[in-house]
Amino acid sequence: MDFDVIVLGAGIVGVSCAIHLQDRSRRVALVDRRAPGEGTSFGNAGLIERSAVVPYAFPRSLGTLLRYARNRSTDLYWDVKALPSFAPWLARYWHESSPSRLAVAARDMLPLIQRCVDEHDALLARVGANAATLVRGSGWIEAFRTPGAFSAAAQQANALAAAHDLHLDTLDRAALHQREPSLSEAFCGGLHWRDPKSVTNPGALTKAYAALFEAGGGTILTGDAATAHAESDAWTVRTEGGTISARELVVALGPWSDTVFAPLGYRIPLRAKRGYHMHYEATRAATLGCPILDREQGYVIAPMQRGLRLTTGVELAARGAPPTGIQLARAEAHARAAFGLGQRLDAQPWLGLRPCTPDMRPVIGQASQHRGLWFAFGHAHHGLTLGPVTGRLLAEMMTGQTPFTDPTPYRPARF
């Protein structure tokens, strides 16, 4: 065999899997059609979300559902042409989001969330000093525009923080603006989650981890994941340098993972939630200290190396449909005055895909029908958060080590 393992996908999850397998003496090839960190890992809000102890659930309140049905909100936009294809997936998502089932999902995800910062820190300790400065320990803030929404959210958040030993500061109007003086008076209070970390260039961080993999003797190749093929006791993939082979294959292609698993007969309900980002010039003297979520409008403003990055909520549309720009325009209308956004810095909005399963758990583990086939995808909004911890868990399973947590909730065969 050319390699012991071929990892398909050079986003944060695939790169992390490659590093952890290499750390366990496996000869690994990392294959993607693009360079590391140039897909979904490039365009997120840059959060390592230690406080995300409850998954993003389908809304259950009638008021929220009616608001979304009008299709005029900032945090969700849906393309009517795409709804029929999304309907079965959304129905299951709604079912899995009942209070009792959501509680189970939160319990299942907690071991991954609890280790997310530690696993990033372990990799950061091994990369160069310049790359390590990409990550900041300033947490993130939920900002609120109306006192009623702030009061209700603060009560729930403080209970959650106490239950999970999280560090949370509840900020009234004066405290919020003292902590983040660049904000306008549009916000009346905020919740500062201090355990998470933020990344000022997620794509560059993924590339730094990929460089660590290469420095350890790993191989990065440009190739077509759709050519993955089982031959006898080997998996083969065509790359620009020729066809390579390995006994084991890891599918870590995020929203594109179905291009490999579907032809092999697996019916995993993976769908992509679309989202956009744009960078803006900062016009105020004070510098934004951490990412801020405008909770009532549903977008994030994050301080990045390139400027202030606005990251939108969810767009439900066909994966290959042209960009609409609708969500970005709606969010920009709220954010420009609130955050002092100046001119746009990107020629075009960036469009990315969040790979989601309806039960709000990633798919991590061995495929049921093929020897040597492993899956690591479906991390929804938390790919950056869970990349390194996923890499550890998968590598432990693949090399016969005792996993740090029970991997049963993430098994592919649950679908």
Q: What is the DSSP string of 85-136?
A: HHHHHHHHHHHHTSHHHHHHHHHHHHHHHHHHHHHHHHHHTTS-HHHHTTEE
Q: Is residue 321 part of a domain?
A: no
pLDDT at 242: 96
Q: Is residue 176 part of a domain?
A: no
The structure's pTM equals 0.96
Task: Say yes or no to pLDDT of 383 above 90.
Answer: yes
Percent of the chain topping pLDDT 90: 97
Q: Residues 245, 235: contact at Cβ < 8 Å?
A: yes
User: What's the whole-number mean pLDDT along residues 194-202?
Assistant: 97
CATH value at residue 241 = 3.50.50.60
pLDDT tens for 296-355 read 999 999 999 999 999 999 999 999 999 999 999 999 999 999 999 999 999 999 999 999
pLDDT at 141: 98
Q: Which two tokens stand for residue 58?
A: 């389908």
Q: Is residue 76 part of a domain?
A: no
CB proximity list for 162: less than 8 A, separation 6 or greater? none
Q: Is residue 322 part of a domain?
A: no
pLDDT at 232: 85
Q: Is residue 104 part of a domain?
A: yes
* DSSP per-residue letters across 320-386: TSPP--HHHHHHHHHHHHHHTEEEE-SSS-EEEEEEE-TTS--EEEE-SSSTTEEEEE--GGGHHHH
Pairing of strands 189-193, 140-144: antiparallel
Q: Is residue 141 part of a domain?
A: no
Q: What's the chain's average pLDDT?
A: 96
pLDDT at 131: 86
Taking residue 274's Cβ as centre, other Cβ atoms within 10 Å add up to 24
pLDDT tens for 162-173 read 999 999 999 999
pLDDT tens for 219-268 read 999 999 999 999 888 999 999 999 999 999 999 999 999 999 999 999 99
What's CA 89's distance to the chain center, in Å?
19
pLDDT at 129: 84
Please compute Rg for the chain using Cα positions.
Answer: 21
Q: Is residue 182 part of a domain?
A: no
Domains contained in the chain, number: 1
pLDDT at 22: 98
Q: Detail the DSSP E strand segments found in 16-99.
A: 28-32, 47-48, 76-78
Domain that holds residue 250: 1-57+97-133+200-270+357-415
Task: Say yes or no to pLDDT of 40 above 90.
Answer: no
Q: Is residue 284 part of a domain?
A: no
pLDDT at 81: 95
pLDDT tens for 90-137 read 999 999 999 999 999 999 999 999 999 999 999 999 998 888 899 999
What's CA 168's distance to the chain center, in Å?
22
Task: Say yes or no to pLDDT of 70 above 80.
Answer: yes
Pairing of strands 219-222, 197-199: unpaired
Q: Which residues of 118-140 are buried (b: 16+ CB within 10 A; e: fewer)?
A: ebbeebbeebeeebeebbbebbb
